Amino acid sequence: MGLLDGRAAVVTGAARGIGLEIARVLAAEGARVVLGDLNAEALHKAADDLTASGADVRRASCDVTDADRVDALVRTCKDEFGAVDIMVNNAGITRDATLRRMTERDFDTVVDVHLKGTWLGLRAASLVMREQGSGAIVNISSLSGKVGNPGQTNYSAAKAGIVGMTKAAAKELGHLGIRVNAVQPGLIRTPMTEAMRADIWAAKEREVPLQRAGTAAEVANGVLFLASDLASYVTGAVLEVSGGRGM
Ligand code: NAI
């Protein structure tokens, strides 16, 4: 018996990193999962690997900034699995630079992927979920959205915006049986953070009360909790998975 037996889920940005781990953990608990990502090649491999491990998954190439593609991604889940019980808006990018160097394009691109991308996923999933009278949506914010990081005025703003969006949607959709929550990961080792200089990485790790970076699996476990019935009375919440950093 898995926590998500019989459920159908969509995960964006699922080709690698935290999104792939979320897909793996949801599938391990019995969910059937549609993986969406911009990177078709990595997506193909991720879906094949999960299928080989016994998971029931589908994949759909999807740019989360494109409303038609996001609608199609959610429709794939409904068509293939008959429902959309869980939506995880995870896809993300960084374009870090100080205000002196950050271009308008860096700002727009980051806000588009995180804020508009999450909103499009939220909208598409909630339209199916309101017909069902149930559903759980989990948006991936970041600790950057809570504390702000230098060099990330674009990213911190977008990730803080996801918190406001999550709470507004939780209030709007609660009476329809739909829960909406956010996760704020701290320092997590993934392809996104691999490029960080070793000394900067070590300094950041020392700021963490648990004295280490987190794993994608630890973030995925937080998502699992919020997506499952264990969190049946939790909505509009922001779960920090940060080892205590920035509390
Ligand atoms: P990653 O770079 O390893 O994976 C991100 C995935 O999203 C990639 O597969 C990429 O192709 C996909 N993607 C990017 N733009 C997309 C678009 N427009 N449409 C569809 N897919 C797109 O990053 P990671 O670390 O796994 O991050 C996942 C989420 O977690 C992001 O929202 C990120 O901001 C957030 N996060 C990560 C932290 C970390 O320390 N790694 C900390 C806090 C939050």
In this predicted model, what pLDDT tens digit does every residue of 92-132 receive, in sequence order? 999 999 999 999 999 999 999 999 999 999 999 999 999 99
Question: Rounded to two decimals, what is the model's pTM?
Answer: 0.99
**Nearest-CA residue for atom 41 of ligand 1:** 188
Token pair, residue 193, equals 């953070």
d(CA 192, ligand 1 centre) in Å: 7
pLDDT at 209 over 90: yes
The sign one gets for the Cα dihedral 46, 25, 29, 36 is negative
- Of 61, 63, 60, 54, whose CA–CA distance to 31 is shortest? 54
% of the chain with per-residue pLDDT over 70: 100
Atom of ligand 1 nearest to the CA of 216: 26
Q: Structural domains in the chain?
A: 8-240 (3.40.50.720)
Cα gap 110→103, rounded to integer Å: 11
What are the residues facing 33 on neighbouring strands?
9, 57
Q: Which residues contact 54 (CB under 8 A, 6 or more apart)?
A: none
